[in-house]
Structure 1
Amino acid sequence: MRITSVIRYMVLLITLLGMWFITQTYFHQSWKAVSLRSWLGAMNKPSSEKLPQHKCGNQKSCPKNYFAFRIISGAANVVGPSICFEDLVLMSSVKNNIGRGLNIALVNGTTGQLLKTNSFDMYSGDITKLQTFLQEIKHGTLVLTASYDDAATKMNDKVRAYFTELGSNHVGKLGFRDNWVFLGAKGLMNKSPFEKHIKNNKETNKYEGWPELLEMEGCAPRKMD
């Protein structure tokens, strides 16, 4: 009986070892095959699968003879606005050329060349400077505007009329701490399609005392008719 038991144990042990060897060999080879296929697949992935990068980080590229732009208003009185044009940041906190009130960049509507940037504090006496600035804008100039904190406290009818001539449809109702982004042009015959305005409303404000920021992107034609 003892010899028979030993033989049985030996047969069982050999069987288990054989199964273990077959399993290890099969799965090891399969893993190698899968890994090789995966590696080859990763190597052969076309580079076109990468997401395209558009000017100013916009969702779409602009056609020929159009300028890409992106305007972001300020957030409350904490985060400043930014203005990007043809993949070039014209105004931002990083460039240290923005301020509370109105931030305006002037661009040549034919060449896309930056002409001037300026910020106007609407709490202080900058209203006279703003009037002069708007009055001296030359025909064919693109005007990119972003509000920060408050842009309307001391805005008078004359300033509102200048922006209306540039194509604004909302400047007439711009109020205390409203957010506003706008792209217009001197000599524009119709209202600009590039404008956003959100009212300061304590019932809907995202920030305490201020509405949420506004963000606008698009493609501006070289000649806005």
Structure 2
Amino acid sequence: MRVTSVIRSLVLLLTLLASWFLMQTYFQHSWKAISLRSWLGATKKPSSERLPRHKCGNQKSCPQNYFAFKIISGAANVVGPSICFEDLVLMSSVKNNIGRGLNIALVNGTTGQLLKTDAFDMYSGDITKLQTFLQGIKRGTLVLTASYDDAATKMNDKVRAYFTELGSSHVGKLAFRDNWVFLGAKGLLNKSPFEKHIKNDGETNKYDGWPELLEMEGCAPRKMD
């Protein structure tokens, strides 16, 4: 009887020890797992603290009565330009509505409605077509323009004068393979603040025969004047 009692006691003790060991191991690993998940979770910003996405991917949002836009010129003769307005891509390689030369989108300056897009090849002699296009722009229309490859070849004084009337300060000196992005308006009383121009210079060009691309974003007021 004594031997049996001793054996039972030993078995009970071993059972208790095994149970204690299993519980310790389980809870210890669970604690580590929970702690690891909590730690990883703590590194993520709450949704309320995440940076908001602005229209056209711009760095900031626009106030009321302003339109968000982003214009990117072409990169050499390889990567085409893109024009975004109010978070809608108007022209791009993906939309397959761009071409080398000048890429222009017309937008209603009051409603923001897209009116027309067109691309003008300045090598093949689209200059007459471009003149007709620019001459037909109605007052109050926003004009978003991006160069690709070369925009100045065969550009005559008449075309330059049309863009000057739209508010451009740089079109008069636009030369072979210069990069140019511009947003103006028909009936603009002053020069447009939305324009960038970079010269084609063999010593500073980012690409072999072309300067780096230009990117311009901002907020255009309704009925620019």
**How big is each residue's C-alpha offset from its partner over 1:15-39, in whole Å with a ceiling of 9 and x where there is no partner?**
xxxxxx9xx87x9386367347537
- Partners in 2 of 1:32 and 1:76 — Cα distance? 53
- Partners in 2 of 1:118 and 1:39 — Cα distance? 50
Q: How far off its partner does 1:48 sit?
A: 1.2
Which AA in structure 2 matches 1:67? Answer: F
Q: How far off its partner does 1:144 sit?
A: 0.1
- Partners in 2 of 1:174 and 1:40 — Cα distance? 53
Structure 1 segment 45-60 matched on structure 2, within 5 A = 46-60=46-60
Determine whether 1:178 maps to 2:175: no
Name the residue aligned to 1:17. none
TM-score by length of 1: 0.84
- Partners in 2 of 1:202 and 1:168 — Cα distance? 25
**How big is each residue's C-alpha offset from its partner over 1:147-177, in whole Å with a ceiling of 9 and x where there is no partner?**
0000001000000000000000000000000
Which AA in structure 2 matches 1:105? Answer: A
Structure 1 segment 206-217 matched on structure 2, within 5 A = 206-217=206-217
- Partners in 2 of 1:32 and 1:125 — Cα distance? 69
Q: How far off its partner does 1:93 sit?
A: 0.5
Determine whether 1:166 maps to 2:166: yes
Name the residue aligned to 2:5. none
Structure 1: gaps spanning 5 or more residues: 1-20
Provide closer, same or farther for how the CA distance between residues 41 and 141 of structure 1 changes in structure 2, counting only shifts above 3 A.
same
- Partners in 1 of 2:49 and 2:149 — Cα distance? 41
Which AA in structure 2 matches 1:31? Answer: K
Determine whether 1:156 maps to 2:152: no
- Partners in 2 of 1:197 and 1:36 — Cα distance? 51
Q: How far off its partner does 1:41 sit?
A: 4.6
Which AA in structure 2 matches 1:150? Answer: D
Q: How far off its partner does 1:124 sit?
A: 1.2
- The structure 1 segments of at least 4 consecutive aligned residues displaced by more than 4 Å after TM superposition are 39-43
Q: Alignment RMSD, CA only? A: 2.0
- Partners in 1 of 2:142 and 2:38 — Cα distance? 55
Q: SS of 2:132's equivalent?
A: helix
Which AA in structure 1 matches 2:224? Answer: M
Provide closer, same or farther for how the CA distance between residues 161 and 38 of structure 1 changes in structure 2, counting only shifts above 3 A.
same
Structure 1 segment 81-160 matched on structure 2, within 5 A = 81-160=81-160
Name the residue aligned to 2:73. 73
Which AA in structure 2 matches 1:121? Answer: D
Name the residue aligned to 1:31. 32
Structure 1 segment 179-194 matched on structure 2, within 5 A = 179-194=179-194
Aligned length: 201
- Partners in 2 of 1:201 and 1:42 — Cα distance? 47
Between the aligned residues of both structures, percent identity stands at 85
Which AA in structure 2 matches 1:119? Answer: A
TM-score by length of 2: 0.84
Q: SS of 1:130's equivalent?
A: helix
Q: How far off its partner does 1:125 sit?
A: 1.5
Q: How far off its partner does 1:116 sit?
A: 0.3
Structure 2: gaps spanning 5 or more residues: 1-20
Q: How far off its partner does 1:120 sit?
A: 0.3
- Partners in 2 of 1:207 and 1:67 — Cα distance? 33
- Partners in 1 of 2:55 and 2:129 — Cα distance? 32
